[in-house]
C-alpha cells in the first residue's frame, strides 16, 4: 500500500491577535510560530496507522521553503518513510496552483491512497485535495472521518451537516481529505526525531516540473485583506436559569435555526 | 559561533512543547492544589524518549547531551514546573550511575528508568546538612558483605515514589579529608528499615513528591556502592554541575511562562480607556522580563554547551544557576504585579508561576552557595 500525504506548515494563530501587514494582502507573520496544519496532522497519523496495520510506504509531500522542511521532519519522526519538498521559489500560490504543482509531483510516485487535510488553517480554501484528485482523475471524498482499508477497497465515512455521516465504499486508488478527530495523532518521540534526522529530504523545484504557464498563474486574485468590522455590543440577558434558557431558545429560533 | 539550534534540537524543542501542552495544561491546577501527580504521564514521556535523553543508547537513553536536557527542561517548565519536575526527575541521579557505576549496575538500573518502569531519587540533604553537604551524618557501616545504614534525609525528591535512591552516607568517618568520608550507595526502597514520609504544604512545584526519609538498620549489599568508596562527595558535585544548569533552564522556562501570561493579560485588560499594554510602566516590565529571560537563556546555553564539549566551567554553571533563580523570581513578581488582583487568585496561572519560581533559588544549591562558588573562583 503506497500512501502519499500532502502536508503544509502553517502559522499557529490560536490566541494570537493577528495584524495586517502594510500590503494589506497578508497578516504579519514575523512573530508567528509555525506548526503542521492541524488537519494534515490527522492525515499523516491516518497514513501511518494504515501502514502499521497493512504494511506499505508513506511519503509526505509539502510545497514550501526550506524552513518548511520542519513539517516533513515531523512526518518522518512520526513514521513516514520518505519526504519530498517542492521548492516554491518566488511563487505565492493559490489553491489551484498548489493543486497543479502537487499533482504533477505525486503523479510520478506510485500511489494507492493520497491523503490531504480537509483544509489548511491559514487560508481555509478547503479545495486543494479535490483539485488534486480531479487533475489526476482519481476518485475522491472530502471531510472523511473514518477510513478502513481492505482488499483494495476503502470503507469511508464522510461527515455531513447536522451530525450525520455518509458511509461509502471506494475502490482504490483514491484521494481522501481527512477531517480532524478521525484518530488521535501521536506525539513526536525523541527516537523518531533521531531517526528522521538521518533521512534525506528530497527537493524538487516547482519551476522544473514542466507545468504549462497558465497552471502557474493564480486563478484567484486577492484585492485586499481586512479585519471584520467590530459588531455591536452583546445583549445581556437577565433572569433565573429557566428563563435564561427560554430566552436563548427564542433568540436562536428568531435567527433562523430550526430546533 | 552559531546561535541557532540544529534541526534536531529544534525538533526536540517542538516535540517537548507539544507533549507538555497536551499533557500538562489540563491537570496542572489540580495537581498543584492536591499535591498529586499521575505517573501515567511520566510513563508516556518515557515511551517517547524524554526521560534520560542524556543517557547512552545502550541503557535506553538517546545519547544526547546536557544541552538537549536543558531544552527539555525549559520547554516543560514553560508549561508547568511542578509537572515537569514530576515527569523528568524519575531519572534524577542516573548521571552518577552512568558515570561512576559498574557495567552491571548500569545494566541493572538504567534501562528500567528510561523505560519509565522504575523511579529513582537522590538522598543527599539532611536535617542538619544542606548546603554544607560534607557534614552529612547518615552512616553506612560494613558488616561482612553488607552495609548497615542509619540516619535520616530530608527534602528528598521522589522519596515516597522511588524504587531506589542513591544515598550520600558516611563510610569512612576516620578519613582526615572531610571530602573523602562519604560514599554514594544505592538503597532499594523496599528494604526493611527504610521509611519515607511525604512532606506536604510546599509553596510551589506541588505536583512533585518531596519526602523525609529515615534509615533504621537498612541492609544493602556492598556491591551497591556506586563508584569508589569514599568518593561520594566528588560524585555528588559531578551531579550538581550537570543538574544545576538544568535547573537554571527551568528558570528560563518559568520566565517565558511569566512573559506569555503577561502579554496575554496586558493586551486584554483595560484601564483608563486603554489596554494596560499601552502604558510605559507596563511596557518596561514586559521588556525587562524578555531581557532577563534571554540573558539567562544565553548563560544556560553557553554553560550547557561547554559541558557537552567536555570543558565544564563550574563558575559559569554556578553563575547561571544564581542568575536564573533570581531572574525567575523577579520575572514572576513583575508578571504578577501586571496582573494586579487577578494574579493574586489561584485560578490565574501567574500565581502558580510566582509560587513555583522560588524553588529555583533553593534546590541544587541555593543562590548564596552558587555565588560563593563564583566568588571563590574569581578570588582564588
Which ranges constitute the DSSP H helices of chain A? Answer: 38-54, 69-78, 95-106, 128-136, 190-197, 241-254
Instruction: Encode pLDDT of B237-256 as tens digits.
Output: 999 989 999 999 999 999 99
> Is residue B357 very low, low, confident or very high in pLDDT (cuts 50, 70, 90)?
very high
Task: Identify all chain A residues contacting B24, using CB atoms and an 8 Å cutoff.
Answer: none
- Share the mean pLDDT of chain A: 94
| pLDDT surpasses 70 at B120 | yes
State the pLDDT at residue B103.
97
Instruction: Encode pLDDT of B128-184 as tens digits.
Output: 999 999 999 999 999 999 999 999 999 999 999 999 999 999 999 999 999 999 999
| pLDDT surpasses 70 at B191 | yes
> Is residue B218 very low, low, confident or very high in pLDDT (cuts 50, 70, 90)?
very high
Give which of B5, B8, B266 to mutate to test A binding, by max A Cβ within 10 Å.
Answer: B8
d(CA B35, CA B202): 9
> Complex ipTM, two decimals?
0.92
| pLDDT surpasses 70 at A259 | no
Q: Between A and B, how many residue pairs show a Cβ–Cβ distance under 8 A?
A: 50
B203 touches chain A (CB under 8 A): no
CATH of B7-114, one of 1.10.540.10, 1.20.1440.130, 3.30.2130.10, 1.50.10.10: 1.10.540.10
The CATH code belonging to domain B120-233 is: 2.40.110.10
State the pLDDT at residue A221.
87
Residue B137, SS3?
Answer: coil
Cell of A2: 503506497
| pLDDT-wise least confident of A228-232, B89-93, B257-261, B279-283 | A228-232
State the pLDDT at residue A123.
87
Task: Identify all chain A residues contacting B7, using CB atoms and an 8 Å cutoff.
Answer: 69-70, 73, 197
CATH of A2-216, one of 3.90.76.10, 3.40.50.620, 3.40.50.2000, 3.30.420.40: 3.40.50.620
Cβ–Cβ gap A190/B53 under 8 Å: yes
Q: What is the CA radius of gyration of chain B?
A: 21
d(CA B293, CA B353): 14
- Share the mean pLDDT of chain B: 97
Cβ–Cβ gap A17/B11 under 8 Å: no
| pLDDT surpasses 90 at A15 | no
Q: Are A85 and A69 in contact (CB under 8 A)?
A: yes
d(CA A77, CA A84): 14
Burial code of B88-101, b = ≥16 C-beta within 10 A, e = fewer? bbbbbbbbbbbebb
Please tell me which residue, A14 or B164, carries the higher pLDDT value.
Answer: B164
- Residues of B annotated as catalytic are 364
pLDDT, mean of residues A169-190: 97
| pLDDT surpasses 70 at B289 | yes
| pLDDT surpasses 90 at A30 | no
Cell of B123: 538522598
Report percent pLDDT > 70 for chain B.
100
d(CA A259, CA A253): 7
pLDDT, mean of residues A184-202: 96
> Is residue A228 very low, low, confident or very high in pLDDT (cuts 50, 70, 90)?
confident
> Is residue A121 very low, low, confident or very high in pLDDT (cuts 50, 70, 90)?
very high
Sequence spans of domains, chain A: 2-216
Sequence spans of domains, chain B: 7-114, 120-233, 234-379
pLDDT, mean of residues A220-245: 89
In this structure, whether the domain defined by B234-379 belongs to CATH 1.20.140.10 is answered with yes
pLDDT, mean of residues B289-300: 98
Please tell me which residue, A258 or A122, carries the higher pLDDT value.
Answer: A122
Query: Residue B11 is nearest to which of A15, A73, A187, comparing CB atoms?
Result: A73
Cell of A204: 524538487
> Is residue A254 very low, low, confident or very high in pLDDT (cuts 50, 70, 90)?
confident
> Is residue A162 very low, low, confident or very high in pLDDT (cuts 50, 70, 90)?
confident
State the pLDDT at residue A255.
83
Amino acid at each position: 500500500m503506497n500512501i502519499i500525504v500532502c502536508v503544509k506548515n502553517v502559522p499557529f494563530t490560536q490566541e494570537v491577535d493577528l495584524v495586517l501587514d502594510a500590503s494589506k494582502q497578508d497578516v504579519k507573520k514575523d512573530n508567528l510560530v509555525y506548526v503542521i496544519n492541524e488537519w494534515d496532522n490527522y492525515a499523516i497519523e491516518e497514513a501511518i496507522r494504515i501502514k502499521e496495520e497493512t504494511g506499505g510506504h508513506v511519503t509526505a509531500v509539502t510545497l514550501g521553503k526550506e524552513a518548511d522542511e520542519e513539517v516533513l521532519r515531523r512526518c518522518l519522526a512520526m513514521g513516514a518513510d520518505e519526504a519530498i519538498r517542492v521548492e516554491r521559489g518566488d511563487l505565492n500560490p493559490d489553491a489551484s496552483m498548489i493543486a497543479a504543482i502537487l499533482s504533477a509531483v505525486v503523479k510520478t510516485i506510485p500511489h494507492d491512497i493520497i491523503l490531504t487535510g480537509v483544509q489548511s488553517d491559514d487560508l481555509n480554501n478547503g479545495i486543494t485535495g479535490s483539485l488534486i484528485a480531479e487533475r489526476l482523475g482519481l476518485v475522491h471524498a472530502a471531510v472523511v472521518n473514518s477510513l478502513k482499508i481492505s482488499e483494495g477497497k476503502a470503507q469511508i465515512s464522510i461527515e455531513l451537516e447536522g451530525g450525520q455521516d455518509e458511509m461509502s465504499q471506494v475502490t482504490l486508488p483514491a484521494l481522501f481529505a481527512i477531517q480532524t478527530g478521525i484518530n488521535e495523532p501521536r506525539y513526536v518521540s525523541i527516537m523518531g526525531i533521531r531517526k528522521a534526522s538521518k533521512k534525506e529530504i528530497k527537493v524538487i523545484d516547482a519551476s522544473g516540473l514542466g507545468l504549462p504557464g497558465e497552471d502557474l498563474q493564480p486563478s484567484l486574485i486577492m484585492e485586499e485583506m481586512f479585519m471584520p468590522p467590530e459588531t455591536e455590543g452583546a445583549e445581556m440577558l437577565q433572569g433565573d436559569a429557566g428563563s435564561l434558557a427560554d430566552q436563548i431558545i427564542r433568540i436562536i429560533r428568531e435567527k433562523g435555526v430550526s430546533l | 559561533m552559531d546561535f541557532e539550534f540544529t534541526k534536531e534540537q529544534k525538533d526536540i524543542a517542538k516535540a517537548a512543547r507539544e507533549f507538555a501542552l497536551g499533557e500538562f495544561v489540563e491537570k496542572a491546577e489540580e495537581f498543584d492544589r492536591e499535591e498529586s501527580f499521575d505517573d501515567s504521564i511520566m510513563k508516556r514521556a518515557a515511551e517517547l524518549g524524554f526521560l534520560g535523553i542524556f543517557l547512552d543508547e545502550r541503557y535506553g537513553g538517546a545519547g544526547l547531551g546536557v544541552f538537549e536536557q536543558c531544552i527539555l527542561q525549559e520547554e516543560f517548565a514553560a508549561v508547568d514546573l511542578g509537572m515537569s519536575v514530576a515527569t523528568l526527575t524519575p531519572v534524577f541521579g542516573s548521571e552518577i550511575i552512568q558515570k561512576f557505576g559498574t557495567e552491571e549496575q548500569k545494566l541493572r538500573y538504567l534501562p528500567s528508568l528510561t523505560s519509565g518502569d522504575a523511579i529513582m531519587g537522590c538522598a543527599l540533604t539532611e536535617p542538619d546538612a544542606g548546603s554544607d553537604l560534607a557534614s552529612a551524618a547518615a552512616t553506612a557501616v560494613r558488616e561482612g558483605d553488607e552495609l548497615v545504614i542509619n540516619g535520616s534525609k530530608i527534602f528528598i525528591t521522589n522519596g515516597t515514589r522511588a524504587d531506589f535512591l542513591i544515598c550520600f552516607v558516611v563510610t569512612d568517618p576516620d578519613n582526615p579529608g572531610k571530602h573523602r568520608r562519604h560514599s554514594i550507595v544505592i538503597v532499594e526502597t523496599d528494604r526493611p528499615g527504610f521509611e519515607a514520609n511525604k512532606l506536604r504544604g510546599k509553596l510551589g512545584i506541588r505536583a512533585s513528591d518531596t519526602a523525609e526519609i529515615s534509615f533504621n538498620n537498612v541492609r544493602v549489599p556492598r556491591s551497591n556502592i556506586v563508584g569508589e568508596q569514599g568518593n561520594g562527595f566528588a560524585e555528588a558535585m559531578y551531579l550538581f554541575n550537570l543538574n544545576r544548569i538544568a535547573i537554571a533552564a527551568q528558570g528560563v522556562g518559568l520566565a517565558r511562562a511569566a512573559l506569555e501570561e503577561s502579554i496575554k493579560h496586558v493586551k486584554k485588560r483595560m484601564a483608563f480607556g486603554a489596554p494596560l499594554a499601552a502604558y510605559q510602566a507596563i511596557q518596561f516590565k514586559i521588556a525587562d522580563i524578555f531581557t532577563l529571560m534571554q540573558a539567562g537563556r544565553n548563560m544556560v546555553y553557553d554553560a550547557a554547551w561547554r559541558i557537552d564539549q567536555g570543558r565544564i566551567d563550574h563558575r559559569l554553571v554556578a553563575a547561571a544557576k544564581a542568575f536564573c533563580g533570581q531572574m525567575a523570581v523577579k520575572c514572576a513578581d513583575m508578571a504578577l504585579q501586571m496582573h494586579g488582583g487577578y494574579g493574586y487568585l489561584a485560578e490565574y496561572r501567574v500565581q502558580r508561576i510566582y509560587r513555583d519560581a522560588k524553588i529555583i533559588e533553593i534546590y541544587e544549591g541555593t543562590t548564596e552557595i552558587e555565588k560563593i562558588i563564583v566568588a571563590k573562583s574569581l578570588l582564588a
